[in-house]
Structure 1
Amino acid sequence: MTTAQSGPLKAVRAKRVLLPEGEGPATVVVRDGKIAAILPYEADVEGVTGLSDDLVLLPGLVDTHVHVNEPGRTQWEGFSTATRAAAAGGVTTIVDMPLNSLPPTVDVASLAVKKKAAEGQIHVDVGFWGGAIPGNAGDLAALHEAGVFGFKSFLIDSGVPEFPPLDPAGLEEAMRTVDALFIVHAEDPSLVGESRPAFPDFVASRPPEAEAAAVRTVIEAARRTGARAHILHLAAADALPHLRAAQADGVRITAESCPHYLTLRAEDVPALATEYKCCPPIREGAHQDALWEALKEGVITCVVSDHSPCTPDLKEGDFATAWGGIASVQLGLPVMWTQAAKRDIPLSTLVAWMSRAPADLVGLPAKGRIAVGADADLVAFAPDEEFTVDAARLFHRNPVTPYHGRTLRGVVHTTWLRGAPTGGEPAGRFLHREESVVH
């Protein structure tokens, strides 16, 4: 049996296929880049590619939180390297953040500049977020019409001067301007202190209450406006009761978390190991345990990378000065599976958090699932195989990651984008909001 072929798939057969209705043996038939049929394992199908018994057929992952940084900061990351890394990690769709590129994606002209930079480079399908910043409320409707999936805003300094934060009134103004999904970096600046050189002091400077207070701000804005809101990269358990209550009240608010918050613990971070710096910070194990429970409960709906790389020199120094971001788009699946397996969480549950749930968040019904009519974005994954992370061998542009040297469980053998194996010429397409279904 083989795990790949040189040309496009006609059909793929596996003893373990993660289907929406559950895991089981099946033969998945592909035609014109779409899943045309799902047949019994023993079906007589021409040109079938068979997976060995140690491999599971997954839907391609959907990562709705990726900072590609091109144009303008392509030395940090770029479309070619970011999407190659994504494909190698089983991710077949990304949605690019409106910063830290130059210009940021805050109007129709800047979206055109970004798409021009990405043309001919993308190895997976790519969509784009717009940005909501002070002074651009008048640009949001046209930018939404141009195809972005929604609007990102910060309630605190973003780290780059060209993307300033909104105050609560500005967030509410943006929400009233256009009927769109608003995704928010939620930390209250009044509760955040000056960054400190050592990790424990850095964590203390950005306390859990800063997240909880900002989440309350977003909830109230969404409640008053009726807008859809989504909390990015949740790290603090303190925010969960507010989210739970708001969701029960019918407020249109969801939340995500990230592999680093769900697998790394503050107790284990060396004092000056700046490769671990991110905002909000990695928190203690009690927060991590609560995040996992919130995922199982559905208060947190999805897991995405927040891939935010930079050049190695920007990670030098200490926690007061180093860039805050973690490079992980290639590693999210094995990082998460290593931890999920220890917590007795089925692979099917984990993959749904990383594929169908983020696809549903942005309204991509043809992504993140193995179903008839969906795109044939597929992954052959060995859940019991282990490897040791070597940062220098990742496809990210810069070899900086807190996972270097860690032994992880789960290896991606092959990724197919619309039925064609990735790894060759870039074959990704741009995804636009008008092709999606808004929930």
Structure 2
Amino acid sequence: MNTKVWPKLVDHYTLSASGALTNTKSESQDLYISNSSGLGNAIGDTTIDRKWVYAKGEDTYVLFDTNAEGKFDTGILKHHLLTGVNLRNKKVKFIRNFQDNADAVGQNTINAYDPNDQTYTAMDDSLKDGNYNTTEDNEINLYLKDRVSLGDFTLALGVGYTRYKGEETSSSDDNYDQDLSNFIYDAGIVYKLTQDVNLFASYSQGFEPIDTSTLAQYGQDGVSYEPEESDNYEVGFKGDFFDSKLSTSVTLFYINTQNQTSYETIAGERALIQDLGESFKSKGVEINALWHVTDQISSQISYAYTDASDTSGEDKGKQGDYVPYNSLSIWNSYRMESEPVRFALGMRAESDSNDGDYNVPGYAEFDFGVYYELDQWDVSMVVRNMFDKSRVASTPNWLLAEANDPRSINLNFKYRL
């Protein structure tokens, strides 16, 4: 061993690792309001029939992550190297049994206008019998990234390898399994235009297999599902101006998605559908600015314009669900000069968006905060949706429209040792 080289390598490299193990068990006995025709429930009924449902589950998650980081030079090039391994194992055991409709009719009723007006019988112990459905997902990710600096240029190159294996064993012998792998690449470049302004451009790939339990529950027979993939591009600048009183960034982005998956109702059942090949694109601009007006007053503004739509099918060219064209947030802060007290007032706003065949109107909500901040402890009070404006936040199905969160007051205390 070259004793002159080894200490230098040790001084310039670091190794870290972390892991986690989580095990969660659950069991429930619920009276379920079903829209099944076997119970005879219909829209407008005052008395609703229910049936017992028994559920039991056990989830186990194992995570392990390790990485090595180091810096070294090769001639005039300065390298910052990062490499690592990420392992993930998820095992979910679950059983759920429903009471037969014929046994439930007239036995477990509830008044839609008076929840205290209800009848129910004991749940039969036979619902607790049965075998688990077991889903196990194993994922390994390897990555190597090198950030190379030369004068005012910094070039970042990365390569990753991902392997995903999933298997579901069902009590009905309808088993699913997957074994997928892929190489993923990314690259970026930063140019220091001036001491205060950097220009940047980047490219990255996305690779997301569909979860095995999702395929088992919503996958269509005879349909082969591919992982969702994407190509992601960004270009923009970051800079400080007016003696660093104004910090701002502007980013243009373009995302091209292949094999996009979504849900549709087919023959009365929710099913997973997929558009193979190029299927969705998103492009737009994001602008962020932090302006220190004075030592006591600052304002942070974020704006995004997003044009996102399908590139094929009957919704080709239509703005994607829950994606507003325009979104804006403003957070203004005032710090008292002689007291450790800070006041803040903010606004969150979005333009109209789609939700399937429905329109979700745009909105503007205001928040207010008071902060008392010392070296070791903070006290804050934040009021969200200050004017308590009600609006439609989403329409999950043809029957329901969900409202936004009402006004809330949150008190927080932090102490630092």
Q: Do both share a fold (TM > 0.5)?
A: no
User: What is the TM-score when the length of structure 2 is the normalising length?
Assistant: 0.30
Higher strand share: 2
Computing the radius of gyration from Cα coordinates, the structure with the larger value is 2
Higher helix share: 1
Give the structure, 1 or 2, with the largest relative contact order (CA under 8 Å, sep 6 or more). Answer: 1
